[in-house]
C-alpha cells in the first residue's frame, strides 16, 4: 500500500538532503573527517540534484521519472547504511555511524510507501508543456 504522495516525498527529499549535509555538525562527528563526514554530505548534495531533475511536484526540470528516482533513493540508502562497515568507522562512537544507518533505513521505508507517479495534474501539465 503506497500512501505517501509524491509531493510529500519531494518535501522529505529536500529535508533529508539538508539533514544529511549538516549531519556531521548536528550529530557532532565533523571532527572525524574521512568517509563518515564526506558520504552524508555527498549523498545530501546528490539528493538535491536528482530531486531537482525528478518528474514530480517539487522537481524544477522534471526529466527523471519518479520510479527511477525511487531506485536511486534505495541505492543511495544502501550506500549510507553499509558505509560505516565498508569504511571502518563502525568502531567509532555511535553518533558517528548510527545516523547513517537510521537515515538510510528510514529512506527505504519512505520509498516503500511512496506513490510511484505524481498526481494527474503534474502529468497533465507535463504533457501540455511538451505539446507546446
Query: If DSSP codes are grouped into helix, strand and coil, which group holds residue 29?
Result: coil
Angle between helices 34-52 and 94-113 (to 10 degrees): 20
- What distance in Å separates the CA atoms of residue 47 and residue 38, rounded to the nearest whole number? 14
- What distance in Å separates the CA atoms of residue 36 and residue 114, rounded to the nearest whole number? 28
Alpha carbon of residue 97 to chain centroid? 17
When pLDDT is cut at 50, 70 and 90, the band that residue 126 belongs to is low
Asked if the model's pLDDT at residue 22 lies above 70, the reply is yes
pLDDT tens figures, 38-61 = 999 999 999 999 999 999 999 999
| pLDDT for residue 119 | 82
Amino acid at each position: 500500500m503506497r500512501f505517501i504522495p509524491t509531493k510529500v516525498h519531494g518535501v522529505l527529499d529536500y529535508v533529508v538532503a539538508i539533514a544529511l549535509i549538516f549531519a556531521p555538525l548536528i550529530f557532532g562527528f565533523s571532527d572525524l573527517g574521512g568517509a563518515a563526514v564526506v558520504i552524508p554530505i555527498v549523498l545530501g548534495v546528490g539528493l538535491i540534484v536528482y530531486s531537482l531533475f525528478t518528474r514530480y511536484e517539487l522537481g524544477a526540470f522534471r526529466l527523471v521519472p519518479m520510479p527511477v528516482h525511487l531506485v536511486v533513493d534505495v541505492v543511495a540508502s544502501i550506500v549510507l547504511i553499509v558505509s560505516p562497515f565498508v569504511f571502518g568507522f563502525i568502531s567509532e562512537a555511535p553518533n558517528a555511524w548510527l545516523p547513517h544507518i537510521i537515515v538510510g533505513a528510514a529512506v527505504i521505508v519512505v520509498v516503500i510507501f511512496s506513490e510511484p507517479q505524481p498526481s494527474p495534474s503534474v502529468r497533465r501539465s507535463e504533457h501540455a508543456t511538451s505539446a507546446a
